[in-house]
Amino acid sequence: MCDACGCGDSNVVPVALSERVLAANDRGARHNREHFHDHGVIAVNLMGGPGAGKTAILEASAQALAALGEAEKVGVLAGDLATDHDAARVRAAGILAESITTGSACHLDAEMVHRGLHRLAWRSLDFLFIENVGNLVCPAVYDLGQDANVVALSVTEGEDKPLKYPTMFQKADLVLLTKTDLLPQLPDIDVARIATNLSHVMPKPAMITMSVRTGEGIDQWIQWLHGLKHLRASMRASIVGPV
């Protein structure tokens, strides 16, 4: 008898399914997305390797938004292995933040985010940032219900990272190239080559060069967020139709 296909064995039935293995997570993500849309909240999934500067971006964003009087319209859920470190840093910078303890998980999933929502007054926000677990592969696989994917990549990580991690960059709406203040110390890193590599993995390549030390790119990033908000508002208006 053939073990592999069960031939000659009349009681083996093939069942065609063609289903996404992560269908349960997809359902959870859809549920989160409905929550966000119902309350006009824009959720941003901030991903990147460990130490890429994700929390630093959120701290700098908190300050920039506070200067515009928009700090109370922004909140953060920070995926953290076991500590409250990142959320505490963001709170110290003046915005609402809670951590999602992930334990040994290498990514956030839709259900973890949903649980996190129960601990954060997110309904009145314009923007909810979700700082994902520091990892350039796994977080990209799980939809959380976000409106946009933003990937932080630091100049110290090397030019080839977009080509090595296409799964993540393919899904990115925006790449924040961080720590550009360090470029003078990194003569081998060519920003133009990073942009070229991005164009080979991102269908609509978009990159902002940024440094929380010099403030480079922060204004552009806040503008990008405001652009996203207006785009979403006009999309919602067109779905509802003219009154």
Partner 1 sequence: MHEYSIVQALFDRIQDAARERGAVAVRRVKLRIGEIAGVDVDLLQTAYDLFRVRTICEGAWLDVERVSARWTCPDGHGDIARGHALVCPACARPARLAAGDEIVLEQLDLEVP
Ligand X SMILES: Nc1nc2c(ncn2[C@@H]2O[C@H](COP(=O)(O)OP(=O)(O)O)[C@@H](O)[C@H]2O)c(=O)[nH]1
Cβ contacts of residue 119 below 8 Å, gap of 6+?
Answer: 98
Per rule CB under 5 A, is residue 55 in the interface with Mg ion? yes
Q: Any contact of residue 48 with ligand X (CB under 6 A)?
A: yes
Told to check if 59 binds Mg ion by CB under 5 A, we report no
* Residues in a beta bridge with 150: 46, 174
Closer CB to partner 1, 88 or 105, in the complex:
105
**Contact present, 63 and 84 (Cβ < 8 Å):** no
Distance, in Å, from the CA atom of 128 to the CA atom of 122, rounded to the nearest integer, reads 7
Sheet of 127-131: strands edge to edge? 96-101, 74-80, 127-131, 42-48, 148-154, 174-178, 207-209
d(CA 108, CA 115): 11
Residue 137 contact partner, candidates partner 1, Mg ion, ligand X, none, CB within 5 to 8 A by sort of partner? partner 1
Of 98, 109, 147, 159, which one interacts with partner 1 (CB under 8 A)? 109
Strand blocks (E) in 117-227: 127-131, 148-154, 174-178, 207-209
Instruction: Count residues near ligand X (CB under 6 A).
Output: 18
Q: Please, which of residues 158-217 interact with ligand X by CB under 6 A?
A: 178-179, 181-182, 211-213
Report the residue number, 49 or 145, with the smaller CB distance to Mg ion. 49
Which one, 123 or 226, has the nearer CB to Zn ion?
123
Residues 177, 74, 117, 169, Cα dihedral to 10°: -20
d(CA 86, CA 92): 10
Select the span of 61-69, 83-91, 171-179, 218-226 touching Mg ion (CB under 5 A): 83-91
Residues 28, 134, 139, 145: which binds ligand X (CB under 6 A)? Answer: 134
Stretch that binds partner 1, among 92-100, 112-120, 133-141, 174-182 (CB under 8 A): 133-141
Q: Does 109 bind Mg ion (CB under 5 A)?
A: no
- The contact set with partner 1 (CB under 8 A) reads 3-6, 9, 11-25, 105-107, 109, 137-138, 140-142, 166-168, 170, 196, 199-204
